[in-house]
Each structure stands twice: as C-alpha cells, then as structure tokens.
Amino acid sequence: MTVGTAAKPGHLDVLGRVTLALLVFDGFLCAVLSVLFLPAYLGATPFPISILAAAVANLALVIAARSTTGRVGTGVLPLAGWGFGFLLCMFGGPGGDVLLLASVWTLLLLFGSLVPAAVYLWKVSAKAAFGPVSPSVGEGTR
C-alpha cells in the first residue's frame, strides 16, 4: 500500500501532494548544496564528496517520490527540481560570480548525481512494463 494515494488510483490526497512538493524542493536544495560543496579540499587535494552525497540523496528522493505516489513517472520530479537548481547555479550572479566552472568536476557532478536515480527508474519501469521474469520451461525444475 502506498502512503499518499487517495481512493482513486492516480490521484493524490493533500498529504501526498505536499510530500511530493517537499521532495521536489529537497531535490532543488540538494543541487544547490552539492554545487556549493563541490570545490571542497582535503588538505591540498580536491575532495568532491558532494558528488557521492548528491547521488545518494537523489536516489533516496526518487525512491521516496515513487513510494508516495505509487507511479514510476512521478519519481522524475525530484530530479527535475535538482536539474532546475543545477541550471540556476550555472548562471552568473551579481558582479559576474559563477558557482559552476568549466571543469571535469562539474561534469562528474551532473552525471554522478543523475545516473544512479535514472538507472533505478529505468529498472523499475521495465519491471512494471514487462513484469517479473519467469524461468523458461526447462530451467529451474532440476
């Protein structure tokens, strides 16, 4: 049973909508914080721990959004919030300040944060579309 679903399948009650909105906002905050902590150093060595933290947080947000609604498609909404926050950080601020520089760390943050959650959604949608895989006739009976 899913938490935020109403009596009709596909419709959310008020608690489900508020939860989903908070998950999208959390995705936005995750993007901003991961960009701010991207240039972290451990001594003199770059230590971009925010890439791993953003990957784990995005995966958790996608799983929470999917379990709240019971639909695979709404799991993308926290990733959309993350993408909006990432794009917002790419724009220059007042005085020409830029948070994201043209470096390999920015590219790793983009792909490292989105790929685990996208793979999870792809596997769940494939499982929902094709159903569980059953063994063929001659397998599994020995």
- Quick one: pLDDT at residue 27? 94
Global confidence as pTM: 0.78
Compare 71 and 66 and report the one with higher pLDDT: 66
- Quick one: pLDDT at residue 33? 93
- Domain annotation covers residue 2: no
| Rounded Cα distance, 142 and 140, in Å | 6
- Specify whether the CB–CB gap between 4 and 13 falls below 8 A: yes
- Domain annotation covers residue 5: no
- Domain annotation covers residue 140: no
CA atoms within 13 A on the CB side of 113: 32
| Rounded Cα distance, 51 and 68, in Å | 26
pLDDT, tens digit, 9 for 90 and up, residues 74-99? 889 999 999 999 998 888 777 777 77
pLDDT at 58 over 90: yes
pLDDT at 7 over 60: no
- Domain annotation covers residue 25: yes
Note down the domain range covering 44. Answer: 11-123
For 53-91, give the secondary structure using H, E and C.
HHHHHHHHHHHHHHHHHCCCHHHHHHHHHHHHHHHHHHC
- Domain annotation covers residue 62: yes
| Rounded Cα distance, 126 and 2, in Å | 20
- Domain annotation covers residue 128: no
- Domain annotation covers residue 142: no
| Rounded Cα distance, 36 and 28, in Å | 13
Number of domains in the chain: 1
pLDDT, tens digit, 9 for 90 and up, residues 35-52? 988 888 888 888 888 999
User: What average pLDDT does the segment 18-42 reach?
Assistant: 90
Task: Check residue 134 and report its DSSP letter.
Answer: P
- Domain annotation covers residue 82: yes
| Rounded Cα distance, 72 and 49, in Å | 29
